[in-house]
Structure 1
């Protein structure tokens, strides 16, 4: 007699149907969204600080104080690096949340959970020195997601390469970088050119 055997997708949906596991997945999605909003606030603060330094740099150039202008330009460059890193992390987190939403709503575990851990680790490490509290929170979320991945994998008898870097994870990070660089061009003007020091006219040949 034929016995119906549920597909992987059906078993995944059953595993995350309103249960503690699905609630944990919803909570993880929410926590990531909260950190993305915190990153956005941090980016706005950094951008405001950079704008102030940029204005001072232009003023120093106009005053022909190249030493100060160089100092302000260096500070602007450092802030822009931090903003770029933050924007890249935000773009990558958006992709992670999209993957998790598909797992929750459609049970697409095998494809969408693969390499999530690798992406989360790159994001966490990338902002560790800029936003340590957010980095720590993302590390905690990552542990939760790894646990969920293992539990659903047991139910569906699938092995999920949760934290293994893949071509897809590398592609996601590259795309996040490209989008972040485009946003940087939209947000920040080109740095003003600082004139080279004029030769000392008192020095004679």
Structure 2
């Protein structure tokens, strides 16, 4: 009698700084054995990179909001140093940030409030080589890389500036008006959390090819990106 082949589980690595949420998610995924299994968890971006290299997961579920940095910041390193598929699982509702994660190489974006069924389907989809994004977002991302190229300015700096959304320009304006304020204070002026501000700044830095807030402020002043009136 021939043996029934053993099913190879999808190896999943969870990266989230909310321990209670991660524990709940682990319980959910544990119900999917032997199809899936959690092989590790991390609560900081630093340990996430080190553990991902060691564990070699098939799929990484990555949050965007951390105390030390943004999940966006470690996406390039995770993609470069591992062969894992990366599924963003987040409570952040900013579509501009979601699009940036896809453009940076993430394989999908999923909200934390989604049903167990949707989370499992998303994991299976990205593991199989697909993407998990809604049609509206997919259209916008393709627009960044497709026909819309002919409608953007040809000057490199003008093209970068044109990519900024009205909300991103508002953030830059606020940074200029309150240049000496902390990120917590800037976030308060914008009525958003410091984590959301951090994610938005990461997107802005990426678009304008800046490394930090000082460079951004200097660039904004030189290119008159906002009025200080």
TM-score under structure 1 normalisation?
0.22
Structure (1 or 2) with the greater strand fraction: 2
Larger C-alpha radius of gyration, 1 or 2?
A: 1
